[in-house]
Amino acid sequence: MTEFTATEMMTIAAARALGNDDVCFVGIGAPSAACNVARLTHAPDITLIYESGTIGTAPDVLPLSIGDGELCETAVTTVAVPEMFRYWLQGGRISIGFLGAAQLDRFGNINTTVIGDYHHPKVRLPGGGGAPEIATSCGEIYITLKQAKRSMVEKIDFFTSYGHGNGHDDRQKLGITTKGPTLLITDLAIWKPDPVTKEFTVVSMHKGVTRAMVQETCGWTVKFADDVAETPEPTELELTTLRDLQARTAAAHGGTKEKANA
């Protein structure tokens, strides 16, 4: 079996969660990599939508941002951003929202705004963009994140994107009818919310990962399912697809000879 990194395992595990019939609102970075690996392997008919208004895009390389021309050039169509949010997103036409996070708590609430006090932050982050609307209007939310105590925290410093609040039926109390975060894929494990409390619970750990490793990189007391599975290793096809995609991306964005000859 070919060796693979923890980040490759995370990306491929996230890709596997997507289906051929999904309409997916894609975040930049790890979510974009996962969604495009799914499109290039087991889900060729998946519809990928980016915040800039590109629908059914099929990029050959990963975009640098939502404004990357690669997205528009390969899309079935491109609509105005207000139409994207009002008709497509808030109209309930998108099944999966794929998000990342700077900070995440046990109930899937996301912070991408500030670290520290809002008025005197230690770090000013890029902000939410469309993520707050994605978190409440997509049918369900998948989250990808590398585990670290600074990112998986007991209490986030700012509520950018609403997950399950304080758990239980907090979303329903606010009149939010979508499912919210249903899956968290990290570089160590796969997590799903408890059906009642909505607290993320480890259901699968990647090869070589121990419970101690998961706990050491998480800022809250981790809950494990009664039967924790081992995440299947990446296949040769999955690894080759991901690595080829990343190589094309590096060549395209790095101004190398490969780009000139493309």
Q: Which residues are catalytic?
A: 51
Asked if residue 202 lies in contact with residue 183, where contact means CB atoms within 8 angstroms, the answer is no
End-to-end CA distance of the chain: 31
Tokens of 81: 């951003």
Asked if residue 146 lies in contact with residue 187, where contact means CB atoms within 8 angstroms, the answer is yes
Asked if residue 233 lies in contact with residue 164, where contact means CB atoms within 8 angstroms, the answer is no
Asked if residue 115 lies in contact with residue 103, where contact means CB atoms within 8 angstroms, the answer is yes
Asked if residue 90 lies in contact with residue 110, where contact means CB atoms within 8 angstroms, the answer is no
Tokens of 71: 């997205």
Name the strand (E) or helix (H) holding 225: strand 223-230
- In which residue are the tokens 């894929």 written? 185
In this structure, the dihedral spanned by the alpha carbons of residues 156, 8, 241 and 254, taken in order and rounded to 10 degrees, is 70
